[in-house]
Structure formats: structure tokens, C-alpha cells
């Protein structure tokens, strides 16, 4: 189909041939699909966020006013901003790591990290008090995934699956094609490049599968390790929010970093 379209005259190609379906061409990224400028077309079979990426990349303001675009095969209005409930959670692999869904069975290991005072100070939060707290955070991420507004991975070491931390999309904004990442790592695994590897995988996933255009991260100004990590990944500092948080009796600066799709250089 693609070869025929590339060679054909858009004004002479039958309407049905401009029906792009993910199930027919699964290798295509949404932003790689170019709509005809004059001929009518139908968009079918896309998930809502993929459809948005197609329309965004084709600059609707530049399409011909007479060009009818019919959209079909999209979930109902109350599901427009969510992933289908049946969609499996993405399992990602790198050379040394497996990133799988953060599950209830990880609550004790995650509590061990988030109850560590040194980790909590760098993150800018008080240490968790019980496993119940970490279990509540895991449940929150499960809800966010079902609604399509966030997701969290457990970072595990190959080959035995040792839990060493988490990474996540704290927020996913479907309307603006942006997301915010978060991450934490058990202290004994600091300094080995594991988080660089893990974040590289979820950034690839965000720009590729989710069709994001922008990924941002927030960190405390005292967390120099986190700042160095973001800079290694190509993030740019957008600003320092002076004394924007109050923690343990003192005001602290917070920093915001971002990375755009066109700036990303896969690891």
C-alpha cells in the first residue's frame, strides 16, 4: 500500500487507499505518516494518542481547506485520553536490565529505598513510615496506567531479577504530547550507570510508542547526581525555581529540565 501511494497521484487514488490502519502497517510510527494535501482520507485503527500524533505532525493548519478527513475506529469520548484497559504493560529490556510493571510484590523493596533518610532528603520528601505507604504508591501508579496518565516500572537486574529501583512517567499529557519522568535507585547500586540505562529505555518508549514530543523532569538543586544524570541524557535546564519548596525548616531551590523528541540521541 505504501509503495503504491508514494508513486500515485493523490488526486487519482481511490479514497479507500488512504485508509491508514496500524494493524496493516505496525512498523510505522505515527509521526512518519504523511497525509495527502488535496485528496480525502480516512484515519482508522489508531489509539487516541497515536491519532493525535499523526494530526500534530501533519500541521492541520497547512492542509487544504477542502480536504475532508474522516476519523473512525477511535474509542468513545470518555476514553479519548486513555490507553485501552486490555493493553498489556510494556516490558522493556536493556543490556543489563529488565524493566517490568511495578507490582504489589515490590512494596517491601521500594519501601526500603524510600524510607532511607539520605534518599528522601535528595528527593525532597519525608521517609515513608511503613510498607503500607509504598503499597499505596504502587496502587496509585496502577490507576494512572489504567487511565493512561502515568506508569511505573520496577528496575531489575539480569539475569535473576533483583529489584534495584524504579522509573516512571509521573504524568502523561495526551493533549500536549508531553510527559514527566521520575526515578529512584537503591544506594548500593549508585554509580554503575544503571539509571542512565533505565531512563534511556523509557525515553525511547515515550518518544516512540507514546508519541511524546517533550519529556520533563524536576529535581532538587542539591541533588547533583540527578542533575548530572539528566545532563548526560541530553536534558536542558529550563530554570531554577528559587526557594520553591520548604523542607525541614528551610526553603530550597528546585530545578526543571526538559528534552524534546528532536534532541534525543538514543544511547
CATH of the domain at 188: 3.40.630.30
How many domains are contained in the chain? 2
CA–CA gap between residue 214 and residue 230 (Å, rounded): 14
pLDDT in tens, 73-110: 444 333 334 444 457 899 999 999 999 999 999 999 99
Residue 86 resides in a domain = no
Residues 194 and 131 in one domain: yes
End-to-end Cα distance, the chain: 33
Residues 14 and 143 in one domain: no
Residue 211 resides in a domain = yes
- Does the model's pTM come out above 0.85? no
The DSSP bridge pattern shows strands 250-260 and 214-220 to be antiparallel
Residue 85 resides in a domain = no
Residue 225 resides in a domain = yes
Percent of the chain residues topping a pLDDT of 70: 68
Residues 154 and 220 in one domain: yes
Q: In the listed set 79, 106, 127, which residue is the last one of a domain according to the structure?
A: 79
pLDDT in tens, 51-80: 556 555 555 444 444 444 444 444 433 333
Burial of 161 from C-beta contacts in 10 A (0-12 / 13-18 / 19+): exposed
As a whole number, mean pLDDT of residues 138-144 equals 95
Question: What range defines the domain where residue 190 resides?
Answer: 92-263
Please provide the average confidence, as pLDDT, over all residues in the chain. Answer: 80
Amino acid at each position: 500500500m505504501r509503495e503504491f501511494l508514494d508513486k500515485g497521484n493523490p488526486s487519482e487514488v481511490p479514497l479507500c487507499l488512504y485508509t491508514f490502519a496500524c494493524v496493516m502497517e505496525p512498523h510505522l510510527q505515527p509521526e512518519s505518516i504523511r497525509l495527502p494535501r488535496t485528496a480525502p482520507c480516512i484515519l482508522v485503527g489508531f489509539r487516541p494518542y497515536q491519532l493525535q500524533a499523526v494530526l500534530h505532525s501533519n500541521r492541520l493548519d497547512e492542509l487544504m481547506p477542502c480536504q475532508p478527513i474522516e476519523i473512525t475506529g477511535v474509542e468513545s469520548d470518555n476514553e479519548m485520553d486513555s490507553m485501552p484497559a486490555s493493553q498489556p504493560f510494556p516490558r522493556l529490556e536493556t543490556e543489563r536490565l529488565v524493566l517490568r510493571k511495578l507490582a504489589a510484590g515490590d512494596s517491601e523493596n521500594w519501601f526500603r529505598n524510600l524510607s532511607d533518610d539520605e534518599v528522601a532528603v535528595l528527593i525532597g520528601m519525608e521517609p515513608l513510615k511503613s510498607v503500607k505507604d509504598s503499597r499505596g504508591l504502587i496502587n496509585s501508579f496502577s490507576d494512572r496506567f489504567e487511565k493512561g496518565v502515568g506508569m511505573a516500572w520496577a528496575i531489575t537486574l539480569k539475569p535473576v531479577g533483583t529489584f534495584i529501583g524504579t522509573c516512571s512517567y509521573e504524568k502523561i499529557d495526551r493533549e500536549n504530547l508531553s510527559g514527566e519522568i521520575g526515578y529512584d535507585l537503591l544506594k548500593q547500586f549508585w554509580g554503575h550507570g544503571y539509571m542512565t540505562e533505565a531512563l534511556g529505555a523509557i525515553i525511547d518508549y515515550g518518544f516512540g510508542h507514546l508519541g511524546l514530543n517533550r519529556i520533563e523532569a524536576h529535581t532538587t538543586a542539591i541533588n547533583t547526581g540527578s542533575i548530572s544524570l539528566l545532563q548526560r541524557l541530553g536534558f536542558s535546564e529550563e530554570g531554577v525555581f528559587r526557594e520553591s519548596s520548604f523542607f525541614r525548616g528551610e526553603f530550597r531551590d528546585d530545578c526543571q529540565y526538559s528534552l524534546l523528541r528532536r534532541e534525543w540521541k538514543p544511547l
